[in-house]
Amino acid sequence: MPRFIRDIWERWFGEPLRKVEDAALAYRLSPAGRGLDWKTVTVILTAAACLTIQNYASHPDRLTPLAGFVADRAVGPGARREVEVTLRDWTHAQGPRLLWSGITAVLTYTLLPVLVIKLAFRERLTDYGTGVRGVVADWPVYIAFAVVMIPLVWLFSGEERFQDMYPFYHVTSPTEVGHAFVRWEVVYALQFVGLEFFFRGFMVHGTKHRFGAYAVFVMVIPYCMIHYHKPVPEAIGSILAGVALGLVSLVTRSVWPGAALHIMVAWGMDLSCLIRRGMIG
């Protein structure tokens, strides 16, 4: 490995990661660490529950039977029919369907983990990456990520498989890039804030006391799996991105840099695809 790369690694990651490993080793050797680690168990099971709920609640039509049953029991058969018709309408209308999916993602990524942190663990959210102290000091790392990702986003946006998928809010003419599209892009960005808190915050910082730096690699397994419906290059890239953003969160103790980078890439892909199709500019 070239010396300058070793120096960069040591400067930005080496020493902070050694401290994380030392703390994890000390915990595992302590009386608490030699017993059943209920915190790690709770984090992993909570993560599994959140991802399962998200999978089955991410589209309105998937909740039609349950919502109809509840409406029938609570109000009556008329309410059941009304609820079912509304959910079917939302499923077939692009705007409501995407907003439902985005809001569901935000809630499943944040609500239950926050309750677990505050009520079960009695800990601060800042211990799970929501703080901003010291983040600015590592700005060269973020610039390096941006320099690498921006040309890659533009390059891949020209491929048909990315053109077919992005943006999720499909537009067929420049006039459709309006308020509804912008509203979706805002929810889209919030979704990545929730995603970063869930994977790089709750999962990484919630298990680092047990796994040390390897908490990042544990997190990458479910993270790459949520990309299986995406184009192959993106699914493969999610493994590398998951490791990189996980290490950044571990070192900076903040998920905000990862959220900003994730939003930059997501908005960049949408914008690039629209520009290539002549919808903007």
Tell me the C-alpha distance between 112 and 162, whole Å.
32
Omega before residue 167 within 30° of 0, cis: yes
Q: Is 126 or 77 the better-scoring residue by pLDDT? A: 126
| 59 domain residue, yes or no | no
| 108 domain residue, yes or no | no
Mean pLDDT (whole number) for 128-149: 82
Mean pLDDT (whole number) for 225-243: 94
Tell me the C-alpha distance between 91 and 240, whole Å.
33
Name the residue range of residue 254's domain.
13-35+124-276
Confidence of residue 141 (pLDDT cuts 50, 70, 90): confident
| 233 domain residue, yes or no | yes
The pLDDT value recorded for residue 4 is: 62
| 56 domain residue, yes or no | no
Burial of residue 222 (CB within 10 Å: 0-12, 13-18, 19+) is middle
Distance of CA 186 to the CA centre of its chain: 15
pLDDT tens digits for 42-74? 999 999 999 999 999 998 888 888 888 888 788
Give residues with Cβ within 8 angstroms of 182, minimum separation 6: none
| 7 domain residue, yes or no | no
The pLDDT value recorded for residue 118 is: 97
The pLDDT value recorded for residue 53 is: 96
| 18 domain residue, yes or no | yes
Tell me the C-alpha distance between 242 and 196, whole Å.
10
Give residues with Cβ within 8 angstroms of 55, minimum separation 6: none
Total domains, the chain: 1
Q: Please state, rounded to an integer, the average pLDDT across all residues of the chain.
A: 91
Mean pLDDT (whole number) for 223-252: 94
Mean pLDDT (whole number) for 139-162: 88
| 92 domain residue, yes or no | no
| 65 domain residue, yes or no | no
